[in-house]
C-alpha cells in the first residue's frame, strides 16, 4: 500500500531516503510549499529533504512561512552524509547547479508573472535532480510546479515535467499518472491510479495521436505499476474517447477501431482490462472501488474528475522511468504567490508517496510499516 510510512523512531533516522525537492517556477508558489514541507516534522522523520534551487529564494520562502530555519548551501547531494542526524538548529540543505550570474538574475524575478528566467531555472533544476537520481545521489525527486508558458519563453520546447523527465531518462514509453492513495476518497484497497494516453496537447489533436499500440503501452504501464505496489491482479478500466463510447459508431469510431483492439490484446497478455467504457461511468465506478487503475485518452478526461474529488491528495507519478518522481497535482498558482497562504498538503502527500516508492525499490531493513494517521 502506498499510504504507508516507516515506524518513525530515532533508531532508523539514518536510513531515511534522500529526496530532492525542486523549487519549480519561482514566480509561483513552489518555493513556499517546498519551504513548508522541509520544516514539517513528519516529513523530516520520513526522509532527508534536499532542495534543488536558489538558496536566497528558499531563505525568502522560509521567512514567508515564519520559520527560523536556516539554509545550508551544498555543492552536490553527494556532499550529504546519509548517516548524519539533524542538528538541533534546523538547516535545510540547498543545492543550486546554476552559476552566480544566473542565480543573481533569478532574485529579481517578480512574483506572479511569466518570466523566461524562471522557466529556464525550473528546467535546469529538474534536469540536475533527475541526473542525481539516475546516478544514485538521491533516492527520489519531488517537483514543485513549473509553468509551461515560462518554459516556452525560455525557448525550451517541452510541454511539461513529464516530457523533460522522459527525455533525460531516455524513456520513450512513459505516462503521467494521477494517483489517489487509499482512504476515504476511493474505495479500492490500494488506491486508484489514472494514467493518460495523450497528455499536453490540444483536444483537437487527440484523435490523430491515438493508436492501438499507444493505448496498449499505457495499459501495460498501469498494470506494471500496480503490481509493483502489491496489487496482485490489477483491475484496469479503459476509457472511451467519445460520448457513450461512440454509440456504435454514431459519435466516432475510435472505440471500435483503436481502443477495443488494445484492450483485447492486453487481455490476451493476462491483464485484467475492461473497455472501452464511457468515461463518466467508468471513473465513477473506479472511485467506488471497482477498478485499481484507469487509462484515460486525454489530459482533462482523467484530470478533471480526479482533481474534483481529490485535489489535495492526488499525486502525480511519472510511469516508465528508472527513477522515482512525484509531484503535487496542482499548478503554479501565480495569483497567490508570495502571500503566505499556499497549502503544502499536496507537496507533502507527493513526498509521502515518493518515500514509499523509494523504499519499495531499495527496501530498508528492519522497518515496520503502518498506515499514516489522518
- Residues 102-153 pLDDT 10s: 999 999 999 999 999 999 999 999 999 999 999 999 999 999 999 999 999 9
pTM: 0.89
Domain count, the chain: 2
pLDDT of residue 357 exceeding 60: yes
Angle at 342 between CA 340 and CA 346, to 5 degrees: 150
What gap in Å lies between CA 361 and CA 71, rounded to an integer? 30
Per-residue pLDDT tens digits for 5-19: 333 333 334 579 999
Q: Which residues contact 189 (CB under 8 A, 6 or more apart)?
A: 1, 182, 289
81/2 same-domain check? yes
Contact 293, 195 (CB under 8 A): yes
DSSP states of 120-132:
HHHHHHHHHHHHH
- Segments forming the whole domain that contains residue 269: 174-319
Of 284, 299, 319, the position where a domain reaches its end is 319
Contact 159, 257 (CB under 8 A): no
The chain-wide mean pLDDT, for the chain, equals 90
Is residue 3 very low, low, confident or very high in pLDDT (cuts 50, 70, 90)? Answer: very low
249/303 same-domain check? yes
What's the pLDDT score for residue 91?
92
48/63 same-domain check? yes
211/273 same-domain check? yes
Of 278, 297, 319, the position where a domain reaches its end is 319
Per DSSP, 11 falls in state: G
165/101 same-domain check? yes
What's 223's domain CATH number? 3.40.718.10
What gap in Å lies between CA 172 and CA 19, rounded to an integer? 25
36/73 same-domain check? yes
How many CB atoms neighbour CB 301 within 10 A?
Answer: 24
Contact 135, 107 (CB under 8 A): no
pLDDT of residue 174 exceeding 90: yes
95/186 same-domain check? no
18/47 same-domain check? yes
Per-residue pLDDT tens digits for 295-305: 999 999 999 99
159/39 same-domain check? yes
315/325 same-domain check? no
225/309 same-domain check? yes
Quick one: cell of 324?
Answer: 522515482
84/133 same-domain check? yes
SS3 368: coil
Amino acid at each position: 500500500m502506498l499510504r504507508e510510512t516507516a515506524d518513525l523512531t530515532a533508531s532508523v533516522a539514518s536510513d531515511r531516503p534522500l529526496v530532492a525537492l525542486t523549487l519549480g517556477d519561482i514566480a509561483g508558489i513552489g518555493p513556499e510549499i517546498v519551504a513548508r514541507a522541509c520544516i514539517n516534522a513528519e516529513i523530516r522523520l520520513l526522509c532527508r529533504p534536499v532542495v534543488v534551487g536558489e538558496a536566497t529564494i528558499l531563505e525568502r520562502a522560509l521567512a514567508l512561512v515564519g520559520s527560523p530555519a536556516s539554509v545550508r548551501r551544498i555543492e552536490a547531494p553527494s556532499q550529504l552524509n546519509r548517516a548524519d542526524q539533524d542538528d538541533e538548529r534546523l538547516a535545510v540543505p540547498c543545492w543550486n547547479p546554476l552559476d552566480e550570474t544566473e542565480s543573481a538574475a533569478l532574485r529579481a524575478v517578480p512574483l506572479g508573472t511569466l518570466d523566461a528566467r524562471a522557466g529556464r531555472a525550473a528546467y535546469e533544476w529538474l534536469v540536475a535532480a533527475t541526473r542525481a537520481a539516475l546516478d544514485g545521489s538521491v533516492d527520489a525527486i519531488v517537483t514543485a510546479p513549473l509553468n509551461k508558458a515560462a518554459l516556452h519563453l525560455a525557448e525550451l520546447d517541452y510541454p511539461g515535467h513529464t516530457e523533460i523527465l522522459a527525455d533525460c531518462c531516455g524513456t520513450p514509453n512513459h505516462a503521467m499518472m494521477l494517483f489517489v492513495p487509499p482512504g476515504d476518497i476511493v474505495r479500492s484497497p490500494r488506491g486508484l491510479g489514472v494514467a493518460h494516453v495523450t497528455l499536453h496537447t490540444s483536444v483537437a489533436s487527440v484523435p490523430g495521436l491515438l493508436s492501438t499500440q499507444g493505448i496498449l503501452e499505457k495499459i501495460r504501464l498501469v498494470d506494471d505499476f500496480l503490481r509493483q505496489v502489491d496489487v496482485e491482479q490489477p483491475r484496469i478500466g479503459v476509457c472511451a474517447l467519445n460520448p457513450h463510447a461512440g454509440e456504435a459508431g454514431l459519435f466516432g469510431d475510435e472505440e471500435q477501431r483503436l481502443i477495443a483492439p488494445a484492450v483485447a490484446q492486453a487481455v490476451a497478455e493476462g491483464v485484467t482490462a475492461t473497455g472501452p467504457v464511457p468515461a463518466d461511468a467508468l471513473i465513477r465506478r473506479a472511485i467506488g472501488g471497482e477498478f485499481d487503475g484507469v487509462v484515460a485518452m486525454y489530459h482533462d478526461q482523467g484530470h478533471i474528475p480526479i482533481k474534483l474529488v481529490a485535489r489535495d491528495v492526488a499525486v502525480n507519478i511519472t510511469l516508465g522511468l528508472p527513477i522515482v518522481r512525484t509531484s503535487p497535482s496542482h499548478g503554479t498558482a501565480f495569483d497567490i504567490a508570495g502571500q503566505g497562504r499556499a497549502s503544502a498538503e499536496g507537496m507533502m502527500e507527493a513526498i509521502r508517496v515518493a518515500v514509499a516508492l523509494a523504499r519499495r525499490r531499495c527496501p530498508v531493513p528492519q522497518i515496520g510499516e503502518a498506515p499514516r494517521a489522518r
